[in-house]
């Protein structure tokens, strides 16, 4: 085992300084109170900080500047902050590489070396050939806050579509590159929120789906023509809150349109167009009150669905005779739960079916013959999941129905990325690339337990800590979860998602609660935590904290919670409902004012998941749990760090602004309430340069270490030097 040399400061002194510093806080900026009173469905609602919703007003800008100065004055002086930053640097600067798009023997991928701040787009000629930079983000735009991602590569490998994202925003500008000449096309798609990009097989044009104020639209752009000449293909007849995901068959013969509402998972319609015959768009699946996820296999389509099968099954459709009476079940329902969502890892590749399951809380990709006969599980090297690195595709597996080789990227709590080629004929797997992290999986104890929630429901809880750690009831513990949209968050190395290994390496216990509202046990689990049952998710999360305390893992003064986006709502509700349970809270890019959320940014599309205060019945339960409306003056709240930024066009940053102001004015404790606010940062921090990600993580973990009185671990055991390796021989 290799040891990183200790820095010249003792653990004991760091802990002493952390304790002492907590008594020396700066003066909190004053916030003007200007109550706005409304009568909503007969209930009087008072909003003291409505004026902070106006992001661009001079007064709001001045308030943001004052809060930023206040927060920086505190976090910049947290003892051992530089030690924390050096650790975060070590954990984040391990390099990165994505699953390759393999086209005619050429491998296209994103790669960032440990020294680089942004990923470049590369092409590699053959399995072991030399690599060439296709896109250097610094040459594309002068803005250092921008990043690039691959969206698609034409079947012949001659046309690359990629996006440029500014300041971590969801929106991107789409550009196209001739991979033979290395020259950019004059054609571009303007900055927008794109939900799908499909270049035609020979690169004549591109089908794209963008989401605007009137909803989703699918259009076709022919290269060489003006953007204004683009033809609208589909979407005009849909409502503004419906999403479209498109799938173009490998030979360009068919175009599929999957239509769904976010949160309304059991209402997916699928339409199809025969591009060879230039037929109109016609429904393939409509009004079946179920979820359907399609995968092309030549002239056939396989559908992963929970239609008449709550745990999921797979159906086969012959597009030459697509009558529903001719559909054939090939993979039957079982006790294990298929991941039946639009963003699962279901694929028809190499003549086989790859189906994602959750088995006893662990991820499995099961492989079946086209007939439905089980072959084997995809051979993961350790407990983990596929790495989400292909935002424009319907699966994180890469391949085609005709090619025996399937590529995927694996990650776990301790493994940043390992990319494999799996051959469906030989059933052999070869590693193509790997990124080594600073800790070995063997150093971690990963424990899966179940606990009872308030109503007796059994909830899964994953615990991660270093082997040999003494569980004495006072360990610094970080609890997180998600519980929304039928989404299950997989184990990953990424500190922005689940910082389990880093937290464990620092001597703490990390817990992930699979609360209701997620997809851990299928759509029934999701529906048990949505709309009027949303309180179940909060009860489950609070019960996890109580279980950790009761079972001698931690105590309230050593327990922190964190969450982002929908999980920001989760921790916000836990904070206001049980402030006595927690010492510290990190609430990032959150939803918090549930009476008004639907009026801003992307909020209106989440009404099927949460409900809307415009509806009298839904207003009742939203008011009952909405964190902003349930802050009680004089309550001793824990320390809170809110995180948001101007460029968040998904969850309006007004939630974090208003809640920070209200909590600062209401808490009777001496615990700090801070707002970390970036004027050039959005909802997708993975699109930010690495240095900006490290800054955000440094602030968050410095805050948590300080509040929990954690000793900064200046000696960290590692099994290898972090490095990125590309295999040079087969």
Contact 448, 462 (CB under 8 A): yes
Quick one: what percent of the chain has pLDDT higher than 70?
91
Q: Angle 407-413-415 (CA atoms, 0-180°, nearest 5)? A: 50
The pLDDT assigned to 168 comes to 63
The pLDDT assigned to 612 comes to 97
The pLDDT assigned to 496 comes to 84
The pLDDT assigned to 729 comes to 60
Q: How confident is the model at residue 263 (pLDDT cuts 50, 70, 90)?
A: low
Check whether 726 has a pLDDT greater than 50: yes
The pLDDT assigned to 274 comes to 96
Check whether 721 has a pLDDT greater than 60: no
Higher pLDDT, 560 or 7: 560
pLDDT digits (tens, 9 = 90+) for 460-518: 999 999 999 999 999 999 999 999 998 888 889 988 888 999 999 999 999 999 999 99
| Beta-strand pair 724-726/43-47 | unpaired
Work out the average pLDDT over 201-224.
Answer: 91
The pLDDT assigned to 3 comes to 27
What is the DSSP code string of 61-78? HHHHHHHHHHHHHHHTTS
pLDDT digits (tens, 9 = 90+) for 44-77: 999 999 999 999 999 999 999 999 999 999 999 9
Q: How confident is the model at residue 450 (pLDDT cuts 50, 70, 90)?
A: very high
Q: How confident is the model at residue 12 (pLDDT cuts 50, 70, 90)?
A: very low
Check whether 4 has a pLDDT greater than 60: no
Residues contacting 381, CB < 8 A, separation 6+ = 410, 415, 418
Q: What is the three-state SS of 547-593?
A: HHHHCCCCCHHHEEEEEECHHHHHHHHHHHHCHHHCCEEEEECCCCC
Q: Which residue ranges make up each domain of the chain?
A: 2-90+439-708, 103-213
Check whether 704 has a pLDDT greater than 70: yes
Q: How confident is the model at residue 716 (pLDDT cuts 50, 70, 90)?
A: very low
The pLDDT assigned to 94 comes to 94
Q: Residue 471: exposed, middle, or buried by beta-carbon count in 10 A (0-12, 13-18, 19+)?
A: middle
- Where does 418-533 have alpha helices with state H? 500-505, 523-527
Q: Would you state the structure tokens that stand for residue 234, as one six-digit string?
A: 């589909």
Check whether 717 has a pLDDT greater than 60: no
Compute the CA torsion angle 348, 371, 351, 149 (nearest 10 deg).
Answer: 10
Check whether 558 has a pLDDT greater than 50: yes
The pLDDT assigned to 481 comes to 97
Quick one: what percent of the chain has pLDDT higher than 90?
75
Q: Would you state the structure tokens that stand for residue 718, as one six-digit string?
A: 């590692």
Weakest mean pLDDT among 385-389, 600-604, 672-676: 385-389
Contact 714, 9 (CB under 8 A): yes
Lookup result for tokens 């079972």: 551
**Which CATH number, 2.120.10.30, 3.60.15.10, 3.10.129.10, 3.30.1360.180, labels domain 103-213?**
2.120.10.30
Q: Angle 325-327-333 (CA atoms, 0-180°, nearest 5)? A: 120
Contact 180, 211 (CB under 8 A): no
Q: How confident is the model at residue 7 (pLDDT cuts 50, 70, 90)?
A: very low
Check whether 19 has a pLDDT greater than 60: no
Q: Angle 491-385-198 (CA atoms, 0-180°, nearest 5)? A: 120
The pLDDT assigned to 140 comes to 85
Weakest mean pLDDT among 7-11, 241-245, 389-393: 7-11
Please provide residue 424's backbone torsions phi and psi, each rounded to the nearest 5 degrees: -75, -20
The pLDDT assigned to 185 comes to 96
pLDDT digits (tens, 9 = 90+) for 578-628: 999 999 999 999 999 999 999 998 899 899 999 999 999 999 999 999 999
Check whether 336 has a pLDDT greater than 70: yes
The pLDDT assigned to 465 comes to 97
Check whether 161 has a pLDDT greater than 90: yes
Higher pLDDT, 139 or 637: 637
Contact 549, 542 (CB under 8 A): no
Weakest mean pLDDT among 152-161, 530-539, 678-687: 678-687
Tell me if 2-90+439-708 shares its fold with 103-213.
no
pLDDT digits (tens, 9 = 90+) for 172-192: 899 999 999 999 999 999 998
Strands, E assignment, 306-382: 313-318, 328-331, 337-338, 347-349, 352-359, 362-369, 374-377
Q: Residue 250: exposed, middle, or buried by beta-carbon count in 10 A (0-12, 13-18, 19+)?
A: middle
The pLDDT assigned to 9 comes to 29
Check whether 719 has a pLDDT greater than 50: no
The pLDDT assigned to 728 comes to 60
pLDDT digits (tens, 9 = 90+) for 115-147: 999 999 999 999 988 999 999 998 887 777 788
Report the chain's mean pLDDT, rounded to a whole number: 90
2-90+439-708 domain in CATH 3.40.50.1820?
yes
């Amino acid at each position: 085992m290799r040891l990183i040399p200790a820095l010249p400061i003792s653990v004991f002194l760091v802990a002493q300084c952390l304790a002492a510093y907590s008594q020396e806080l700066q003066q909190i900026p004053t916030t003007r109170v200007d109550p706005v009173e409304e009568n909503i469905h007969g209930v009087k609602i008072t909003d003291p900080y409505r004026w902070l919703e106006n992001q661009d007003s001079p007064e709001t800008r001045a308030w943001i500047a004052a809060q930023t100065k206040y927060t920086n004055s505190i976090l910049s002086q947290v003892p051992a902050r530089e030690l924390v930053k050096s650790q975060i640097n070590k954990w984040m600067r391990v390099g990165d590489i994505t699953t390759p798009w393999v086209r005619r023997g050429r491998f296209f991928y994103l790669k960032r070396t440990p020294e680089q701040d942004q990923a470049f787009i590369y092409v590699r000629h053959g399995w072991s050939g030399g690599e060439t930079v296709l896109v250097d983000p610094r040459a594309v735009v002068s803005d250092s806050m921008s990043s690039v991602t691959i969206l698609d590569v034409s079947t012949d490998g001659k046309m690359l579509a990629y996006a440029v994202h500014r300041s971590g925003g969801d929106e991107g500008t789409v550009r196209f590159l001739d991979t033979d000449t290395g020259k950019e096309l004059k054609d571009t798609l303007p900055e927008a929120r794109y939900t799908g990009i499909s270049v035609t097989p020979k690169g004549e044009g591109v089908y794209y789906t963008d989401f605007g104020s009137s909803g989703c639209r699918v259009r076709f752009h022919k290269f060489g023509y003006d953007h204004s000449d683009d033809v609208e293909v589909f979407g005009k007849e849909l409502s503004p809150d419906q999403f479209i995901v498109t799938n173009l068959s490998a030979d360009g013969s068919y175009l599929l349109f999957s239509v769904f509402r976010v949160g309304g998972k059991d209402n997916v319609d699928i339409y199809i167009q025969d591009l060879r015959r230039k037929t109109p768009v016609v429904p393939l699946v409509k009004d079946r009150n179920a979820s359907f996820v399609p995968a092309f296999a030549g002239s056939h389509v396989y559908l992963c669905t929970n239609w008449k099968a709550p745990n999921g099954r797979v159906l086969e459709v012959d597009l030459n005779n697509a009558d529903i009476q001719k559909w054939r079940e090939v993979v039957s329902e079982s006790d294990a739960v298929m991941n039946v969502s639009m963003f699962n890892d279901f694929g028809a590749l190499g003549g086989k079916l790859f189906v994602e399951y959750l088995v006893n809380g662990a991820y499995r990709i099961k492989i079946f013959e086209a007939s439905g006969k089980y072959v084997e599980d995809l051979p993961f090297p350790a407990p983990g999941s596929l790495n989400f690195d292909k935002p424009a595709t319907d699966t994180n597996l890469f391949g085609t129905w005709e090619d025996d080789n399937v590529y995927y990227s694996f990650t776990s709590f301790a493994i940043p990325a390992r990319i494999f080629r799996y051959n469906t004929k030989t059933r052999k797997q070869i590693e193509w690339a790997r990124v080594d992290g600073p800790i070995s999986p063997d150093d971690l104890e990963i424990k899966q337990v179940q606990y009872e929630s308030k109503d007796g429901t059994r909830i899964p809880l994953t615990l991660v800590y270093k082997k040999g750690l003494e569980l004495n009831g006072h360990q610094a513990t970080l609890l997180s979860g998600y519980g929304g949209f039928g989404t299950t968050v997989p184990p990953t190395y990424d500190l922005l998602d689940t910082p389990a290994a880093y937290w464990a390496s620092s001597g703490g216990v990390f817990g992930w609660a699979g609360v209701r509202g997620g997809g851990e046990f299928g759509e029934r689990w999701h529906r048990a935590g949505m709309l009027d049952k949303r309180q179940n998710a909060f009860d489950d999360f609070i019960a996890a904290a109580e279980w950790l305390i009761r079972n001698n893992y931690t105590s309230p003064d050593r327990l922190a919670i964190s969450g982002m986006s929908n999980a920001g709502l989760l921790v916000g509700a836990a904070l206001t409902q049980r402030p006595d349970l927690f010492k510290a809270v990190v609430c990032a890019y959150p939803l918090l004012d549930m009476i008004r959320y639907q009026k801003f940014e992307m909020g209106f599309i989440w009404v099927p998941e949460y409900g809307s205060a415009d509806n009298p019945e839904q207003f009742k339960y939203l008011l009952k749990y909405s964190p902003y409306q349930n802050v009680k003056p004089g309550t001793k709240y824990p320390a809170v760090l809110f995180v948001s930024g101007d460029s968040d066009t998904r969850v309006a940053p007004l939630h974090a602004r208003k809640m920070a102001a209200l909590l600062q004015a209401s808490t009777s404790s001496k615990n700090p309430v801070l707002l970390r606010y970036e004027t050039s940062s959005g909802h997708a921090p993975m699109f930010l340069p690495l240095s900006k990600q490290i800054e955000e993580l440094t602030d968050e973990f410095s805050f948590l270490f300080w509040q929990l009185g954690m000793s900064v671990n200046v000696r960290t055991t590692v099994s290898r030097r972090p490095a990125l390796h590309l295999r040079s021989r087969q």
